[in-house]
Amino acid sequence: MEKKSVPYKKTVFVCTNVRTDGREACANPGRGGAELCEALKKAVKDAGLKGKIRVAKSGCLDLCAHGPNLFVYPGGEWRSGVKPEDAPEILRDLLG
């Protein structure tokens, strides 16, 4: 095993969990979790920040009723009720 430091300044974990049993989930149809993840990836790429900010799909973050949800590492920022159109604002906040 090789141990290294995190290669990104920030990592944004976006819940893309889908449930087929009728329970709420961030990426169920109409909820927007998957679309949010793709919008953030595109915003990072378009800003030339690929390799500095990583957007990663996440499994369930256990707050589905408030979703779509994401969290930022490091920093511990959590956002709920996020929409794909929020991507530019989130990116601005990540850049400080």
- The answer as to whether 2 is a domain residue is no
Tell me whether residue 1 is in a domain: no
Q: What total number of domains does the chain contain?
A: 1
CA separation for the pair 14, 39 (Å, rounded): 11
**What pLDDT, on the 0 to 100 scale, is given for residue 19?**
94
In a domain, 75, yes or no: yes
Residue 19 structural domain:
10-95
Decide: pTM greater than 0.85: yes
Whether 5 is in a domain gets the answer no
Whether residue 69 lies inside any domain: the answer is yes
> Does a structural domain hold residue 65?
yes
Task: Let me know: does 37 contact 16? Beta carbons within 8 Å.
Answer: yes
The CATH number for 54's domain is 3.40.30.10
Instruction: Output the CA angle 75-66-69, nearest 5 degrees.
Output: 40
Span 3-57, pLDDT tens digits: 999 899 999 999 999 999 989 999 999 999 999 999 999 999 999 999 999 999 9
Tell me if 36 is assigned to some domain.
yes
